[in-house]
């Protein structure tokens, strides 16, 4: 049950209109993809001959992280260094198109890093990466450029919720800059999350809120073999001893092993997936982790969301940002959907606010729904047709006893709620404790209030509340051959009397 509560919390976070301010600093890379068909071998050498059909440019490195955070609807600032070259100008165009607030420095002495991937199809089947060609300069920034970069970061940190450092080892975080960036975050009281470089001295990340090395990076940094989740946990514990609050070791098929300074630690397992391309999975993990932490989510829940997002990313070719709605759909698919539908009033308020912002019409109906039968089903399906989202107000056990006597309900409130939530036509189920539904109607503020046609419109409790707000009351057909009370009486009549005890 706790896991389903967590899933609800994650969905609610993604459905809220929150825009945490996150600053990203690091190595921006221009990812260039050349696509084509391979239908013959070159006459010059025993190699495939690629006939290029299209070229695509995407943001990589820190640019990828910033664009992913933008797709999650964070308020993103990016501080980076680009070369005074065609690739730098192209990267600048992509940054602007993504709506990222850029603090870009241009260097005439450093070329923009390009990762050029050649992807070929044979007989028009799925494209496979043939080779990657890198154009880069990896030395540290000169002193003047370093000072200018730190000043830009300092300016963007005002009012920020989080600083993400994307260290790809291309120069921005070398020469002590990583430690100085962490110190800037501490001075501004802004937590720092780092996607660390491969093979570096991780002591330079001391003071970070979290780092996210992958399996091979953590192995190089600790000198430990990491062939299992338990070994991943050991590596996370060892790296945390460097003065880092939390460490996430991403373990591809084994999920994420994590350790936090408050003593919590664990392994978030990976859901089995069809892995198409691992490119961008690390960027996605640090982006979603950073977004969740900046939005105030508990650390363990943030890890769970980051793990799910990283899994989604490997099902795609290349670096592809995920939108909030895609994560919501995945969360709902991985949780027991009927328990997702059962909500408190407070949780329902938030979901209905979001539904109204998107122009959806809210329908409310209510009842005891004890011994769910075809008559109930017909009413609920007809109610769902009256709008875009159906909320069922369910009488609690206590309110049913007040209405129908001490022998009812037959099925307890949790069981009745789960039965209703299992129906496709029902979107949300909420319990109410009062004998009258009027207070719930006033709280939900439905566009349509639905009752079965056994009532007259003037008899519908809460109908006047709805109509005063411009809504309407709908009376839907019912199957008169079904009644819960009649079913209970029939069951009691057909019960076999208990046999008297057999004498010894």
Give the bridge partners for 421, in sequence order.
none
- Distance of alpha carbon 254 from alpha carbon 294, whole angstroms: 26
Residue for token pair 């002193």: 143
> What is the per-residue burial (b if ≥16 Cβ within 10 Å, else e) of 157-195?
beebbbbbbbbbbbbbbbeebbebbbebbeebebbbbbb
Which structure tokens are listed for 254?
Answer: 């084994």
Would you please indicate which residues are annotated as catalytic (active-site) residues? 283
What distances in angstroms separate CA 239 from CA 175, 236, 245, one per listed residue?
21, 5, 10
Q: Answer yes or no: are the C-beta atoms of 114 and 46 closer than 8 Å.
A: no
Cα gap 96→76, rounded to integer Å: 12
Q: How many CB atoms lie within 10 A of CB 432?
A: 20
Proportion of the chain in helix, strand, coil states, percent, rounded to 5: 40, 25, 35
How far, CA to CA in Å, does 58 sit from each of 31, 184, 362, 458?
Answer: 5, 29, 40, 61
């Amino acid at each position: 049950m706790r896991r389903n509560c967590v899933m609800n919390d994650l969905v609610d976070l993604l459905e809220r209109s929150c825009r945490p301010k996150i600053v990203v600093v690091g190595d921006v890379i221009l990812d260039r993809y050349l696509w084509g068909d391979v239908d013959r071998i070159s006459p010059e050498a025993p190699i495939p001959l690629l006939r290029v059909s299209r070229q695509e440019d995407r943001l990589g490195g820190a640019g990828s992280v910033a664009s992913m955070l933008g797709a999650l609807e964070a308020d993103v600032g990016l501080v980076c260094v680009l070369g005074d070259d065609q690739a730098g100008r192209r990267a600048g165009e992509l940054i602007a198109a993504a709506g990222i607030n850029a603090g870009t420095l241009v260097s005439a002495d450093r070329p923009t890093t390009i990762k050029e991937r050649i992807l070929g199809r044979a007989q028009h089947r799925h494209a496979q990466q043939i080779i990657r060609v890198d154009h880069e300069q990896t030395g540290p920034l000169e002193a003047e450029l370093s000072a200018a970069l730190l000043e830009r970061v300092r300016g963007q940190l005002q009012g920020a919720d989080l600083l993400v450092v994307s260290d790809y080892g291309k120069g921005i975080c070398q020469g002590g800059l990583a430690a100085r960036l962490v110190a800037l975050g501490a001075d501004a009281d802004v937590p720092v999350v780092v996607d660390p470089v491969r093979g570096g001295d991780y002591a330079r990340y001391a003071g970070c809120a979290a780092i996210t090395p992958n399996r091979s990076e953590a192995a190089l940094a600790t000198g430990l073999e990491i062939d299992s989740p338990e070994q991943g946990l050991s590596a996370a514990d060892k790296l945390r001893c460097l003065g880092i609050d939390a460490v996430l070791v991403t373990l591809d098929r084994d999920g994420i092993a994590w350790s936090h300074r408050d003593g919590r630690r664990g392994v978030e397992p990976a859901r089995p997936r069809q892995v198409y391309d691992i490119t961008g999975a690390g960027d996605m993990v640090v982006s979603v982790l950073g977004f969740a932490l900046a939005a105030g989510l508990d650390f363990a829940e943030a890890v769970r969301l980051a793990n799910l997002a990283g899994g989604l990313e490997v099902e795609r070719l290349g670096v592809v940002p995920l939108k909030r709605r895609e994560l919501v759909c995945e969360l709902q698919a991985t949780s027991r959907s009927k328990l997702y539908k059962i909500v408190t009033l407070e949780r329902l308020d938030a979901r209905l606010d979001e539904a109204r912002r998107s122009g959806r019409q809210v329908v409310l109906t209510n009842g005891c729904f004890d011994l769910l039968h075809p008559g109930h089903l017909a009413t609920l399906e007809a109610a769902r047709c009256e709008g875009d989202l159906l909320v069922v107000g369910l009488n609690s056990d206590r309110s049913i006893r007040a209405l129908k006597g001490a022998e009812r309900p037959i099925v307890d409130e949790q069981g009745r709620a789960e039965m209703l939530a299992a129906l496709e036509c029902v979107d949300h189920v909420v319990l109410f404790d009062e004998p009258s539904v009027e207070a719930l109607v006033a709280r939900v503020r439905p566009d349509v209030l639905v009752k079965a046609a056994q009532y007259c419109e003037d008899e519908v409790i809460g109908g006047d509340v709805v109509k005063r707000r411009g809504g309407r009351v709908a009376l839907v057909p019912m199957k008169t051959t079904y009644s819960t009370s009649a079913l209970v009486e029939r069951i009691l009549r057909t019960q076999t009397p208990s046999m008297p005890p057999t004498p010894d």
